[in-house]
Amino acid sequence: MTNENLDNQLDNSGEPTPEYFMETLPGQDRYVAPLDETPLQDVDSVDESAPAASMWADAWRTLRRNPLFIISGIVILFIIIVAIAPGLFTKQDPNSCDLANSLSPASNGHPFGYDMQGCDVYTRVVYGTRTSLSVGVLSTLLVVFVGTLIGAVAGFFGGWVDAVLSRITDIFFALPMLLGAIVVLQMFKTSKSIWKVVLVLALFGWVGVCRIARSAVLEAKNLEFNTASTALGSTPTRNLFRHILPNSLAPIIVIGTTSLASYIVAEATLSFLGVGLPTTTVSWGGDISSAQVNLQTDPLVLFYPSAALAITVLAFIMMGDAVKDALDPKSRTA
What tens digit of pLDDT does each residue of 245-286 get? 888 888 888 888 888 989 999 999 998 888 888 888 888 988
Q: Quote the pLDDT of residue 237.
A: 81
Q: Which CATH architecture has domain 55-327?
A: Orthogonal Bundle (1.10)
Instruction: Using the predicted structure, report yes or no on whether residue 310 has a pLDDT greater than 80.
Output: yes
Q: Quote the pLDDT of residue 97.
A: 86
Q: Binning pLDDT at 50, 70 and 90, where does residue 71 land?
A: very high
Average pLDDT, the chain: 82
Q: Quote the pLDDT of residue 51.
A: 59
Q: Quote the pLDDT of residue 6.
A: 47
Min mean pLDDT across 99-113, 148-162, 206-220 is at 99-113
- Maximum C-alpha span of the chain: 117
Distance in angstroms (rounded) separating the CA atoms of residues 209 and 154: 13
Distance in angstroms (rounded) separating the CA atoms of residues 325 and 321: 6
DSSP letters along 103-149, please?
T---BTTBTT-B-TTSBBHHHHHHHHHHHHHHHHHHHHHHHHHHHHH
Q: What's the mean pLDDT in 145-150?
A: 93
Residue boundaries of the structural domains of the chain: 55-327
Digit-coded pLDDT (tens) for 163-201: 999 999 999 888 888 888 998 888 887 777 888 899 999
